[in-house]
A = this chain, B = another copy of it.
């Protein structure tokens, strides 16, 4: 080493590479388009040799960016959110940003804690995926002005959002069940206060009315989005009365329903046809393979991250609606 600079400082790197400290800073922060490649290579080599790592905290304080995106999901164990998370992280990593993952379990206090943690970390943006409920006053007190927020799925928060037409998605599924002669369609909904339940239920009710199907209110039952809820609700419904179709508001619930039907000796799709929602990978692996409404979860995540990292301002009311598609498989394949 030529000078007296401490190893592991920008000054030492500059001396070893034979450039200025400003050049070191520009090269290592990726703002070096005007600097010859050969010089850049020399800076990288020197930084590596001296194990120099710029202090990202000091940089963040100075520049007001932390190169980070917060991701809030109800539960990363739910396959619906895997592709969302991959979409967010792929975009973030390509941009040199990190993703901070938080799970809320759809518990308001935990949701509040997640937002608090992320604002405290001064993330550049937050992707708020799923979990919207009809009373989200627990999120009122926050000052969101320091960050960009994009919601995925129905939310009442006043931010740009990425959604699907939940009502039309379920209506399409009910129409398909009617085509294969279902008249009494059991609706396995989520919890009544979830916005996704409310939107999808509107689609179910509208389609049932349009098609002149049975509107028996006992055909609509509520649970969480687990396989066991689907199994229990369906077993109860079998004990209470008859139905010839099932529309479940997510795939786990539909798979639980198929287990209950199999246990009771009811044949799918011959006696009861079943449709799920989300088209998670397991939908095509179960037996019979599950007809499901497919969304573009990976694209939700990718687009949300790009909105946050983009230079374009986000209009508060901006909404991107992605298409859905009903994927027909064996669980509705009646002769």
Chain A residues proximal to chain B, CB less than 8 Å: 48, 51, 53-58, 60-61, 66, 68, 70-71, 75-77, 79, 82-83, 85-86, 89-90, 93, 96-103, 110, 113-114, 117-122, 141, 143, 227, 255, 281-282, 285-287
Contacts and interface: CB of A to CB of B under 8 A. Distances in A.
B101 A89 contact: yes
Given A68-B121, A117-B96, A85 B57 contact: no
Contact of A287 (B48, B77, B286): B286
B143 A53 contact: yes
Given A57-B57, A57-B61, A85 B68 contact: no
Nearest to A146: B53
A212 to B, nearest CB: 35
A71 B143 contact: no
A103 to B, nearest CB: 5
A324 to B, nearest CB: 20
A57 B122 contact: yes
Contact of A93 (B54, B56, B102): B102
Contacts of A61: 55, 57-58, 61
A143 B50 CA distance: 10
A120 B53 contact: yes
Given A54-B120, A55-B61, A100-B100, 6 more contacts: A71-B101, A90-B103, A93-B117, A96-B117, A101-B101, A285-B286
Most B CB atoms within 10 A — which of A55, A56, A227? A56
Top-7 shortest CB links A-B: A287-B287, A101-B101, A77-B82, A282-B282, A51-B143, A98-B100, A56-B120
